[in-house]
Structure 1
């Protein structure tokens, strides 16, 4: 059982850039960690990192796929103007009001720190003051002469966010915890495991934030019998939200997904994960997410005969904002539930109706 968060490893995972379609740096960092923990690993054509741990009691060749996406929301440079300011497009979903003055890293010929700029309030009309700044009104200021910017940066270069990871009370707070906290959890699961009954495919997927693209390819290639996605979910346990809209709550444990806008989770997987959590006294709660989806959908649908699929979700505040927040105890619960579930998956009666 995981009892302590490895803050240094998590910080490294969170800090390593990897926006959708450009995950090479974070993939290479993950490979450093998992190499001694698995029997084999490979990268498919779209960029998913697929690791394999062979089962010890598997005459029928059963496969279990567990996936966490390694991409983070970010941007791509679309234009460099004559003053050296950068315009950009989003890679993934952003709430525009949260990015004012946010520090970013532009990955040009070298990494350059910049600031998300927009018109200051002193220069805004009354109408402009009364509305939220639109995403296309922002620009990136690198603090360099235009000639130097144009030498170092071109359209197509990617942009990631720059934030420090820190503890705030019992909470981990930083950027890109969606979904790097689950990448961390998947690595910790591999460290905790001794033997698995069925062949385990621990997959670090790409391009989830732009449409679950990596999970579709990985599930089609692996063709799992069982699937568990790891992702974050909304914790609306904040002022101004009624109890029926909370989805999940911080500190109440890992969430067993029942539903999101892309998936009706398999009732057998829901029952299995819930039973395992209760039997092993692992803190848990349920999740019904009205809007938003995860890699669960890709795993469930893209296996050649479909997969018995579900998800373990991590409650999060301030999702897709400048900094995101998760409870350290929920992270431990996710790792412990996942490890126990993968270890005992052959003990459940999956044929029951």
Structure 2
């Protein structure tokens, strides 16, 4: 892969799919992958699983790649007498970034609303100095209660309304966690079309990662992979006021080979294999140690029958879990290239050491 398809990534980014309500983005991904694999199916929890058969696989070895398709979002919890909506978060948000955020309530029809809170002019000095909690926000649809209730019910999902654009040399938009890796996995399948790989590949678009890796647990239990690579974003904190020892990753310096996150100590063999593959094929990369937060790596590693030799490749992302997120095209391109070469070379590594 040499160039990023901005329009396709934009469509993937802007298609809704809160945890548990991934159908819109799953349906779009089915339309994209169905002709790129030997077989595809969905499981009961909603994972989309594609299969590409290996050409030299007498031991029936399986490799699982996983990119989660859900995005952090909200759920309607209550509609008050004036039509304001109270909500529950689906996934982790930085509450200070919610003020005046535009959202879409996905009811009988989509309604655009605004995240509201107590106006600063009405706050006491003490209130102005405290960090607001998500429970203090509400959604204003600009409609009275009786109009809201024609279209909105308790339990409806809510996503952010945000356009993906180019900012300088970077991409900026909503839900790049993890839609930028969903896009990358799609590009991997495109690159492998017509090529041979040694082992069976299960390229999996998982659900409900943001609320506890739930889709990855189910998929890994069913697939029972020998090897696994999660594909997700990581903290790109190459920004002011971050000490060098606290930097996790930097934008534009290549994809990140994960060593550790709060949910997984990556298998040392997978880390070494990915490093050697990147060096062999001259693919720019950086290492990743993430001390807070986890990914589908944990589900892949621990939910197969005997455990999987698992690791992860990440894309650095600034402003993670905030209103808009930022990534660099170079890091996406290097991720795709490293994944493709790894899948082609995985039988050549000595996994016994």
Provide TM-score, normalisation by structure 2: 0.99
3-state DSSP class of the match of 2:277? helix
Q: CA deviation at 1:126?
A: 1.1
Structure 1, gaps ≥5 residues long: none
Q: Which residue of structure 1 aligns with residue 155 of structure 2? A: 156
The answer for the alignment partner of 1:6 in structure 2 is 5
Q: In structure 1, the residue corresponding to 2:34 is in which secondary structure? A: helix
How far apart, in 2, do the equivalents of 1:215 and 1:329 lie?
27
* Distance in 1 separating the partners of 2:344 and 2:183: 19
1:302 aligns with 2:294: no
Distance 1:104 1:236 in 2: 26
Counterparts of 1:116-135 in structure 2, within 5 Å, are 116-135=115-134
List structure 1 segments (4+ residues) > 2 angstroms apart after TM superposition: none
Q: Which residue of 1 aligns with 2:20?
A: 21
TM-score between the two structures when normalised by the length of structure 1: 0.99
Alignment-derived partner of residue 173 in structure 2: 174
Is 1:241 the counterpart of 2:239? The answer is: no
- Give the secondary structure class of the aligned counterpart of 1:5: coil
Unaligned ranges ≥5, structure 2 = none
Matched residue, 2:203: 202
Per-residue CA deviations over 1:258-317 (Å, capped at 9, x if unaligned) read 001110101110010001101111100100001110000000000111000000011111
> How many residues are matched?
351
Alignment partners' CA distance in 1, 2:293 and 2:136: 26
- Residue 284 of structure 2 corresponds to 283
> By how many angstroms is 1:210 displaced?
0.4
Matches within 5 A, 1:1-353: 2-193=1-192, 194-351=195-352, 353=353
CA drift at 1:144 = 1.4
Q: 1:343 Cα deviation (Å)?
A: 1.4
Alpha-carbon distance between aligned partners in 2 of 1:174 and 1:340, rounded to the nearest angstrom: 29
State the 1:173 CA deviation.
Answer: 0.5
> In the TM superposition, what whole-angstrom CA distance separates every residue of 1:152-195 from its partner, at most 9, and x where no partner exists?
11110010001110111111110000000000000000000122
Distance 1:19 1:84 in 2: 23
Distance 1:134 1:264 in 2: 32
Residues in 1 aligned to 2:220 and 2:323: alpha-carbon distance in whole angstroms: 31
CA distance in 1, matches of 2:329, 2:96: 27
Structure 1 residue 145: Cα displacement? 2.2
**Secondary structure at 2:232's aligned position in 1?**
strand
Q: Distance in 2 between matches of 1:259 and 1:145?
A: 49
